[in-house]
Amino acid sequence: MVDVSPIRLPPSGGEQLIAALVPPKTMRPAVRAPAPLPVLPRLSLPADGADALVLGMARLDRSGRLSARELLGVLGWRPGSRVDIGVVAGVLVAASASTGRHVVRGRGGLCLPAPVRQMCGLLPGVPVLLAASPSQQVLVVHPVHTMARLLTEHHIRLAGGDHG
């Protein structure tokens, strides 16, 4: 026989929670603060004259990898060589370091950390100017827009104009 008695509402007339469907307070996810940026090593720009620098161009891939086999070879950096990577005066600087946190990959690749790329305005597919200083074991990565601005200012000075 089927029960046809009317459904009874709770006496308060409000909602009633079913305990089995409400997770305990300890199971609710905690609000997490964003992860802090890594502390970057203190690096310096090369003080060599222009004749001591070896220049090249490259593009970053979507993963932040930079392929610069020739320049890394000039520096003597082989696959497995350790480097520190940081930012100095708005440009990315990689320096040879026996305890460096980054490693030169096979075929002359160097993976640049995302926070550093963001601080320097380095974007995938956009050209970068590379300046290697073999005497100081340093590779400096300049965004091409910075180089274009510097060249524009230089050309204006050569022409005797004022860019102010």
Domains identified in the chain and CATH numbers: 50-155 (3.40.1550.20)
Would you say 60 and 98 are in contact if contact means Cβ atoms under 8 Å apart? no
The per-residue pLDDT string of the chain (164 residues; one tens digit each, 9 = 90 and over) reads 566 666 665 566 556 666 666 666 665 566 666 655 545 455 555 666 666 889 999 999 999 999 999 999 999 999 999 999 998 888 899 999 988 999 999 888 899 999 999 999 999 999 999 999 998 899 999 988 888 888 888 888 888 866 55
Q: 150 vs 49, 64, 124, 139, CA distance in Å?
A: 18, 25, 22, 19
The half-sphere exposure of 164 on its side-chain side, counting CA atoms within 13 A, is 2
What's the whole-model pTM score?
Answer: 0.66
Residue 26 is encoded by which pair of tokens? 């300890």
